A and B are shown apart, each in its own frame.
Chain A
Amino acid sequence: MRAVGIARVCAAIAGAISLAAPARAEDTIKIGVILPISGGAAYVGQGIGDGVRLAVDQINAVGGIKGRKLEILLRDEMLRPDASVAAAKELITKDGVKFIIGPATSATSLAVSELAKTEHIVNISPSAKTEAITGSKLHEYIFQLAPTTDVDGVRSVGVLNKIGAKSVCFTGFDYAYTQDWFKAIKANMGAIQNAGEFLVPLNTTDYSTVIGQLIASSCDTVVGTMYGGGFIAFVKQAAPFGLFKTKKLLWGANTGDYAVAKALGPDFPEGVWAAASDIWYYEGSDAHAKYQAALAQLQGRKETDMWPITGYNAVNFLAAAIEKAGSDDPKAVRDALEGLTIDSPLGPLTVDAKTHRANSPEFYGQVNSVAGSPVKRMSPYELVK
């Protein structure tokens, strides 16, 4: 009985290994994409993935790169660094992937970047903002497209000065992005006073205490970083206490995005200052209009979210670099990426040859009700480069 069972298991394992062994050999350029697909950040993975798909479709529609089509291999990062590394190893060693886009969050990005370093794989981080990725952990093969927290800090202080903040209190999830961004703001805010920092653990569900502390604080402006579901919960818990009536708010973590505004609908607090890497209603350029039209078709709605542009730019950088290098050798592509400029939907974008950063532009603005739209938008807004 047991022997039969064991034999069955052996057969299953053998089958599994043979299934997992390399099988495909078409001449495509494979791009490994590692994003959060399950869990609370799944909407981010969905968005970045849409941008990647759009760019790949467009490139393949005109015949690919020198006749070779692009192929996406998507894996779930599960918001777990070790799972991200395992997925990346699989992509590299089983599928022969030489380019990886993602993951989305700072912890998973750092983990995969470490692997890219040893495996000599080009790794483009589309959306993570942590300094460490191209700061203390910089290596030859990692490139970071999103503006880092240092850049965000300078841009945010610009907003603080514009809205006349005299005294600021800080709140947010206790994690690297929050700490880095706050440090950058504090370093640049000059005469603006720091009225205190009130952090909560990552993924907290109850914000009552910190809301009470913010209301009691003497600050006139609250700078915060809760994102996604955390921001939604914070806002709904803070509104009845009147936090938004007494304080001005500047929110990081891409709160100007459509996805969050749509979920909150009328509950989105009026007048919050926020940022987003893209807004569908920007009408500043033809390139953006063209991009939005294509994206709207892919997503099946006119009101697209901000995440796709990060994946879109990542693929276009990669494609341009492969084109320029004339091969898909990771070392040649990496050299080509340094100092490379592409025409992004928001204008020319350059990866700095030394820092490996593109510091993509972002929209900054005040979220307000707009006539005829149930979803609030940034109005006014400006594109900050």
Chain B
Amino acid sequence: MLANPIVLFIQVMNALSLGMSLFVIAAGLTLIFGVLRIVNFAHGAFYMVGAYLAYTVVQTFGDTNLGFFLGVAGAGLGMGLIAFLIERFLLTRLYDKDPMLQLLLTFALVMILRDAVRMVWGSDQHSISTPPALSGAVNLGLTYYPTYMLFLLVLGPIVAFALWFGIERTRWGRIARAARLDREMLSALGVDVNLVYAAVFVVGSMLAAIGGALAAPRSAVDPGMDALVIIDCFIIVVIGGLGSLIGSFVGALILGFLTIFGSFYLQEWVIVASYAMMVFILILRPWGLFGQSDEVRH
């Protein structure tokens, strides 16, 4: 069936689109790990909260283009605020302490947020429609392709570029990169490192929430949506290299292609294949494709 160029083209586009939508979420996870050295198990819960926030905004403003984009923005801002509070009042007190405490904190956040969404939004299934401007399909010459998936496909590289630019080309980015290497030195130089940490945590969490809002038109908004996305994100971030932005980009593409073409050849056995691949890559390159081993970093 893949011999048919149109089918092949569609599947390649599907893989790119899936990879890019996952990249947006995974980028937040790798950013937070890269600077704060925290494995944020609550990242999936942040993604879920984002989807629910977007749902509420869309309910308020209606299933319109404006409603949808306000929803995505609202998800980012709302989760950003929550993340800011978490960082200021909880995480910041644990930076000097053992990393194990930070891990426990993120586990606690998972447990709290899972029920919090049920308290606020109930147990029902919810859904957001694709905004009118992005619904339907566009003619790509070879074939028609869903507009919304094309939108996700294009958005991924834009987010990647924006993050790359922010990290590599701005003063804040330089500080953040320095903070990951030597925190004490930086604060000795008079930089408010805590503010940098807060900013990175907020931006990383916003990416999770925006990812959730963007996923909503292609999925259901329900209280169980966090458990699986977090594993996808871990796979991406780990095979790409923890803390590496380009690594997550490549990792997301690998997972996208593996999921789409794996499903094609293996059907329901694809779950075994994706974890086998993660194991395989980590055995070959323990610190991921673009990561550095600890020995190299120090």
Contacts and interface: CB of A to CB of B under 8 A. Distances in A.
20 contacts: A38-B115, A43-B124, A43-B222, A200-B267, A200-B270, A203-B224, A208-B17, A209-B14, A212-B14, A229-B219, A232-B125, A236-B127, A240-B130, A240-B135, A240-B137, A240-B147, A241-B137, A259-B124, A265-B129, A266-B63
A336 interface: no
Given A199-B268, A208-B260, A241-B146, A42 B127 contact: no
Given A205-B229, A209-B14, A228-B220, A42 B123 contact: yes
B211 to A, nearest CB: 12
A40 B129 contact: no
A200 B127 contact: no
Given A201-B270, A240-B148, A209 B263 contact: yes
A212 to B, nearest CB: 6
Contact of A233 (B122, B218, B223, B263): B218
Given A229-B219, A229-B225, A209 B125 contact: no
Contacts of A41: 224
Interface in B199-237: 215, 217-220, 222-225, 227-229, 232
- The 6 A-B pairs at the shortest CB distance, nearest first, are namely A40-B224, A229-B220, A240-B146, A42-B123, A174-B268, A209-B263
A228 B124 CA distance: 10
Contacts of A42: 118, 123, 222-224
B219 to A, nearest CB: 4
B243 to A, nearest CB: 25
**Size class of the A contact interface (CB-based, 8 Å):** 35 or more
Nearest to A175: B268
Interface string A20-46: 000000000000000001111111011
Contact of B220 (A174, A210, A216, A263): A263
A229 B223 CA distance: 10
B14 A260 contact: no
Contact of A263 (B18, B125, B268): B125
B264 A267 contact: no
A230 B225 CA distance: 10
A237 to B, nearest CB: 5
B140 interface: no
A229 B222 contact: yes
B135 A40 contact: no
A203 B34 CA distance: 30
A93 B17 CA distance: 52
Contacts of A46: 122-124
A198 interface: yes
A164 B262 CA distance: 34
Contacts of B149: 208, 240
A43 B264 CA distance: 32
A233 B260 CA distance: 16
B285 interface: no
Residue among A43, A236, A237, A263 with the most chain B CB within 10 A? Answer: A236
Nearest to A260: B125
A212 B7 contact: yes
Contact of A216 (B7, B122, B219, B223): B7
A188 to B, nearest CB: 24
Interface of A is mostly: helix
Interface of B is mostly: helix
Contact of B223 (A39, A212, A241): A39
A206 interface: yes
A95 to B, nearest CB: 24
Interface string B104-134: 0000000000110010001111110110000
A264 interface: yes
A174 B263 CA distance: 12
Given A206-B18, A233-B220, A267-B127, 18 more contacts: A38-B118, A42-B223, A199-B268, A208-B11, A208-B260, A209-B14, A209-B264, A210-B263, A212-B264, A213-B1, A229-B225, A240-B147, A241-B146, A242-B137, A263-B125, A263-B220, A265-B127, A267-B129
Nearest to A305: B124
A214 to B, nearest CB: 12
Contacts of B222: 40, 42-43, 228-229
B260 A209 contact: yes
A65 B61 CA distance: 51
Contact of B228 (A37, A203, A213): A203
B125 A236 contact: no
Contacts of A240: 130, 135-137, 146-149
B244 interface: no
B259 interface: yes
Contacts of B223: 38-40, 42
B120 to A, nearest CB: 13
Contacts of B276: none
B271 interface: yes
B186 interface: no
Nearest to B126: A263
